[in-house]
Structure 1
């Protein structure tokens, strides 16, 4: 893999926990200067081999806070080479029970906030000789039914469309890509999959036999941001361990393998 230059400045939204922490640690390991942002100061910042991420408080849904975030980055570093739009998520809520306000918040966090962040990053990157790279963390929920998180899946599907459009608008200086992870094993896996038995049961449905680790997503972000992926733009990298075995195969009475 082509390395990320040590001079590269990388912003990872929501980069202090979960998938974001894995992304931050991978960029640190590859030599980048990493900035993470979030609403609350984390108890422990991502660190690798004595190198530690910087933290800037920011609610990515707050336009004024985002303006201040990028002003601070410009003042401290004078540049931004990579933005990883990672912050997002949604609690379980059936669509017929969720309120309009709930759905508005899901779209604000998972679609509108990343768009605003990308606009601000692009403004900096267009001024740089080497341009920059923006990676959106989407989801497999954008590509298949997402019962219980319907608005989230729809927002992530919109993100994939957004990436294609921005890749055209902002070329050639700025490259736009997306990564769509399947299930990921984080410290909050129990909220989605239950206890260890539930996690194991979910892993058994994945051809590679395990959930993704945050590092799997992080290394993909590093690659997409590196010179090795210089021709990748407007594309979506699906990381789901081989996908899901079609349910009809288990239900059908023909062509059983055991």
Structure 2
């Protein structure tokens, strides 16, 4: 019998699931048969049919509890939670205000903790996947607070995996460069983006669905003995320091 991934009957929640990497995750969960709900600040115009949307600020623990309850009320269960919401503009640490750094850490670390905590009370069994970054694993000049928050997210993943096993598996995906809608603008245009991709052994940045496939694997029964793991999805790694192009 061929090995397949079938998430039919599973209900998944993806924060920031309407755009960028989150949309790739949403699309691949749908392709695997899951029912998907997404959470974001504003509803995208082009969500796939059947995907439900909840408007909320994931940094607010009360909002997290409310949208988790709403998803369970609508779909009757919650099996997979993907903490994808995050990101940061590039700002040198010396120029970043305390308010800016606080908001970046709230979005990239504390939101995942709040969502995971709220989801845990509504799940008897399940999987939580936290979307981290290679910035968690190497210096992150220009995005210091982001890199520190993602490093914290990897540690949070390992800690919750130990505390909540065996009922809840908790894993992370650390993505490298991903060709989202804003990829070229982030690296200064097509030439800068091409220079970044030239440093990647696989010869290209990831697509959002590459990250989505990693999430689907970790959420599936094929990963039933995997928890506390951080799966690096980076095409062989980055050598961006050669071009002064480190970033999330």
> TM-score per shorter chain, which class?
over 0.9
Separation (CA, whole Å) in 2 of partners of 1:205 and 1:229: 30
Q: Does 2:35 match 1:33?
A: yes
Q: Which SS does the other structure have where 2:174 is aligned?
A: strand
CA contact (8 A) 1:4 1:222 kept: no
Normalised by the length of structure 1, the TM-score is: 0.90
Separation (CA, whole Å) in 1 of partners of 2:100 and 2:24: 28
Moved over 3 A (4+): 245-248
Give, in angstroms, the shift of residue 26 of structure 1: 0.3
The residue aligned with 2:85 is: 87
Q: Does 2:96 match 1:102?
A: no
Distance 1:247 1:62, change over 3 A: closer
Q: Which has the larger radius of gyration?
A: 1
CA contact (8 A) 2:199 2:240 kept: no
Unaligned runs of 5+ in 2: 243-248
Separation (CA, whole Å) in 2 of partners of 1:76 and 1:96: 46
Separation (CA, whole Å) in 1 of partners of 2:96 and 2:240: 29
Separation (CA, whole Å) in 1 of partners of 2:87 and 2:142: 12
CA distances 1:5-28 after superposition (whole Å, capped 9, x unpaired): 211000000000000000000001
Give, in angstroms, the shift of residue 62 of structure 1: 1.8
For 1:192, which of 183, 186, 190 is the aligned residue? 186
Separation (CA, whole Å) in 2 of partners of 1:195 and 1:52: 35
Distance 1:172 1:200, change over 3 A: same
Q: Does 2:1 match 1:4?
A: no
| Residues 33-182 of structure 1 aligned to structure 2 (within 5 Å) | 33-45=35-47, 47=48, 51-126=49-124, 131-182=125-176
Q: Which SS does the other structure have where 1:184 is aligned?
A: coil
Q: How many residues align?
A: 240
- RMSD in angstroms over aligned alpha carbons? 1.4
Normalised by the length of structure 2, the TM-score is: 0.93
Separation (CA, whole Å) in 2 of partners of 1:181 and 1:57: 25
Separation (CA, whole Å) in 2 of partners of 1:245 and 1:146: 13
Separation (CA, whole Å) in 2 of partners of 1:33 and 1:171: 24
